[in-house]
Structure 1
Amino acid sequence: MHSYAKSTDVVDSLDTCFPESPGASPLPKMRRPASDPSNAVLLEAIERLGKKQDDFMEKILEVEKTVSSNSILISDLGARIDVVAKSSEDTAAKSDKPDRQVSTVVEENKRLLDKVDELDAYKRRWNLRVAGVPEVDGENVKMVILDIFLWFSPSLADLLQTSIDVAHLNWAMRATAQ
């Protein structure tokens, strides 16, 4: 190491490791002998390049064929998708019609049920239900009802005989009582 490059702090430790002057210069680079390649070597290199170019061209043509066939398949697939989409739209349109019909039928059914209930209510205005009377097999239900009414209003005996048309047992109540 040269004396002008040394720092004062590390001068003592570096003196022993490095010599004072640079070492010898490296060996000169060897140059290739300048010789012209022979025509045979050049011809061989050109033929190899031509073969590589031919191989590359074949691969490019194969890729073009594949791209062309893929384009045809993609356009065919697009046409099929269009057909499926149209069919799907037609099916959706057809499925809306039954939905509308069902909603119309449901509305009409509700209206008719309300009307039937109203008619039944008009018919039931003369009905009277008596609950809490124990039932006995073979009894005359009309006579049991007449007895109950006569107990409340004995003065209406003649009128009640003609007013009560029919009396029935409540079979649903009877089935649960057994």
Structure 2
Amino acid sequence: MAEKRKERESKTKEKSLTKSLTKMKSKDDEVHICGTDIQALHSYSVHNTSFATLPDSTPSTPDPKKGKHEPSLSEIQENIVRCINERVNGLEELLRANTVSIEALKKTTEFLFNEVKDVKEDMKNVKEEMKINHEVSGAHGKKISEIEARLNEVEHYKRRWNLRMYGLVEQAGEDIKARVVDICCAVLPELTSKLQQDVDIVHRLGRKLEGNAVKARTVIIQFVSRSSRDMLWKAAKTSSYLKTKEIRFGEDLTTMDKAVRKQLWPKVEAARQFSPVFPGPGGL
């Protein structure tokens, strides 16, 4: 089988060589014929003078076609290097600008950190001072409260000899003490002689206002005897004479006592709804 295959291949090669030689021979004959014809034409033209001679002219050759310029390897390398350099320069400028910005941010951050640190220290010191001041103020406040309570107690004890009269109309050139003694004797006639001696100081409170005929100024009365004052105060609560004259007596309370009464009064009003005979703060 292998030998037959070799024989077929050799025969195929011989046939292809024979064909190529035949073609080459035909081409040589054509060239030879063309050459003979050209020589005959040349000799004819030389010997035949009947043809007019033409002036010599330079043959015009067509311009070669302008083809696309293909860059060389060195040009490609130069372009790559140029692009890389441009990109590197741009990155260097960007890096330089970022470096400056980072340095500025770093300084700003350090400044803010130091400011925050100082503020924290100040707040810590302020808290410590506030704590100390609170302790001191608490102690001082306690002492002040104790002193105020003691002063109020002293003032309250002193005012137990006083009574206030409301609703007594003012008169021009009045003898306020004589008028008050007469009213006291009318409320408690059985102590007329004693009240004339026990009423010590009488005067109106505040500055007199011109044309103030609607509201009379309050009258304060100081007694020599505490017992006379208490008896008059008790009798004034149910006196028909005072109701007719639209005059009433009241206790001479301190500022602290007034605040306490003001806080207690709503509770008293609520208690009176359940018990109409419940006394007010002044009757406790």
Distance 1:90 1:122 in 2: 53
User: Could you list the runs of 5+ residues in structure 2 that have no partner in the other structure?
Assistant: 1-68, 217-284
What does residue 142 of structure 1 align with?
177
Distance 1:101 1:163 in 2: 52
Matched, 1:165 2:200: yes
Q: 1:124 to 1:62 in 2, by over 3 A?
A: same
Higher RCO, Cα 8 Å, sep 6+: 2
Superposition TM-score, scaled by structure 2 size: 0.41
Structure 1's consecutive aligned runs of 4 or more residues displaced over 4 angstroms after TM superposition are: 93-103, 105-110, 112-116, 172-176
Residue 122 of structure 1 aligns to a residue whose secondary structure is: helix
1:161 Cα deviation from its structure 2 partner: 2.6
Q: Percent identity?
A: 19
1:126 Cα deviation from its structure 2 partner: 1.1
Q: CA RMSD in A?
A: 3.5
Matched AA of 1:46: Q
Aligned pair partner of 2:115 in 68, 72, 84: 84
Q: 1:59 to 1:115 in 2, by over 3 A?
A: farther
What does residue 177 of structure 1 align with?
215
Superposition TM-score, scaled by structure 1 size: 0.61
What does residue 50 of structure 1 align with?
81
Which stretch shows the higher mean deviation, 103-112 or 65-74? Answer: 103-112
Q: Is 2:185–2:192's contact at 8 Å kept on the other side of the alignment?
A: yes
Distance 1:76 1:124 in 2: 72
Distance 1:159 1:115 in 2: 33
Distance 2:142 2:174 in 1: 45
Q: Larger Rg: 1 or 2?
A: 2
> Residue deviations 1:116-152, cap 9 Å, x none?
4443322211111122222212211111111112123
